[in-house]
Structure 1
Amino acid sequence: MWHYPYGQAGDDCTSRLTALAAQVQAAEAQIAALRQQITALTQQQEQTQAQVAQMQTRVEDLQRKPPVHVEYHFDQLKVSRLDGTLNIGLSPNAQSGVDSFDVPVPGTWQTPAVGSEGAEPFIPGLMQQGNDFMNTNAPADLSAIASQNGMSLQPAELRAVLGDVTAQLGARIQHYARTVPLPANGGEDELNAWRQGIMNKVKKDIRTAFENYVNRRAAESGGQKGR
């Protein structure tokens, strides 16, 4: 025969059962939340693995591209890409003439000796203008030139071209600053015109390099398709 608790003892038992039920419900809610977190982490891991696979495919595609070697005369740029390494040389060193000009290894260009007077105080400002151009206008210029030739350069290739030019911009700016004569009277308007003339030369060289590089890439792509 069963005996059910009654009185104070029965009330205590009921309270305990209610508390246990509440704890069970809380534990179930925590378990459900953990399961959701695990599902979200699994999805993130799968997305990351897919992105890594895409990047690996792009790297392999770039590595399979044939070497590029393009040479130009003075006041232009040399663009060479061998085994996936891109070098764009800005070299102001003319030797016996334009036709005999030979582009040296990037980073070895010689510029006129630094003096205590002349253009030296203006060179830092010119370099800042050059860097600003590379950060703001040059990416759009390169993309536009590629688009005009029916090409769409990958972001990694765009960064490689822009980065290589930016790294070598200083020697080109120093060459023009030290070889283009300063205005005789040194007025502010004349100095501004002198600065603008130097930057126009530098920008023209950079855009010429972009055009020649893209034209060569387009020609190579057309040649591969025709094979």
Structure 2
Amino acid sequence: MHPFYIQQLFHELKAQSEKLGQMEQLLQQLRKDVDGLMSKSQTHIERVDYHFDLLKIEKLEGTLNIGMNSNDGKNLEDITVNGQSMEQIQKNPDQSEMIRSIEQPVLSYLQDEIPELIRVMARERKIQIDSPYTHMIIDDVRRQINDRILIYLEKIQTDEEEIRNKDYIRTTVIEHMKRDIEIAVKQHIERSFSGKWDVNETERRE
């Protein structure tokens, strides 16, 4: 074989070897990145636990109570709204429509406004709350919304004319659920990140 071809082959083999070396380094870096992500994903996160104070609405003779961790000792199948069981509610177009008309605005509020609330709290307190944790909070609340609507409706115990007005009931439940969700998220962040907040405040003052 002509020496020129041998030399050319040598250079090509050398170039391929260098490329393989670069690929090996890249692969090692990727493995490190993957290991780092896996170790982060395995970090234990406590279940989001919401504690809502009992709520009293001033215009009602009765009280409207909500607790996002409790069905007041009842199973959902035991809950009745206007004397109707869960099964009857599902078959009643009016009741189903009422629940949907409350649920949609509350879910929109949860999805559209709560992430911004969390970002503002994180910024004010100099703490980091990443997107996965934010999504976890939102998902945890979302799973409880429908059940809490039923509990709200069940707790309305009055015969006043204005309470029989569907628009009044709908607006009242929506606004107070929004308020309770905001309070719950704030309390959860204060409780979960209080240590980090204290450390950041100390460092900032120093």
| 1:192 Cα offset (Å) | 2.6
- What TM-score does the superposition give when structure 2 sets the normalisation length? 0.56
Cα distance, 1:223 vs. partner?
Answer: 7.0
Tell me the equivalent position of 1:169.
Answer: 145
CA offset at residue 59 of structure 1? 4.4
Q: CA deviation at 1:92?
A: 4.7
Q: Distance in 2 between matches of 1:73 and 1:218?
A: 19
The 1:69/1:193 distance shift into structure 2, 3 A limit, reads closer
Shift of 1:194: 2.3
Q: Percent identity?
A: 13
User: 2:39 maps to what in 1?
Assistant: 60
Count of matched residue pairs: 157
1:198-213 aligned within 5 A: 198-213=173-188
CA contact (8 A) 1:111 1:174 kept: no
Report the alpha carbon displacement of residue 120 of structure 1 after superposing the two structures with TM. Answer: 4.9
Shift of 1:63: 3.2
Aligned to 2:71: 93
Measure, in 2, the Cα distance between the counterparts of 1:131 and 1:207. Answer: 13
Residue equivalent to 2:79: 112
Relative to total residues, which structure has the larger strand share, 1 or 2? 1
TM-score normalised per structure 1: 0.52
Question: What's 1:184 paired with?
Answer: 161
Does the residue aligned with 2:126 lie in a helix, a strand or coil? coil
Partner of 1:150: 126
1:72 counterpart = 2:51: yes
**What secondary structure sits across from 1:152 in the alignment?**
coil
Where do 5+ consecutive residues of structure 1 fail to align?
Answer: 1-38, 77-88, 96-103
The unaligned stretches of length 5 or more in structure 2 are 1-18, 56-66
> Which structure is higher in RCO with an 8 Å CA cutoff and minimum separation 6?
2
Cα offsets for 1:56-92 (capped at 9, x unmatched): 524423534575786735449xxxxxxxxxxxx8235
Aligned residue identity for 1:93: N
CA-based RMSD: 4.1
* Counterpart contact for 1:70–1:216, Cα < 8 Å: no
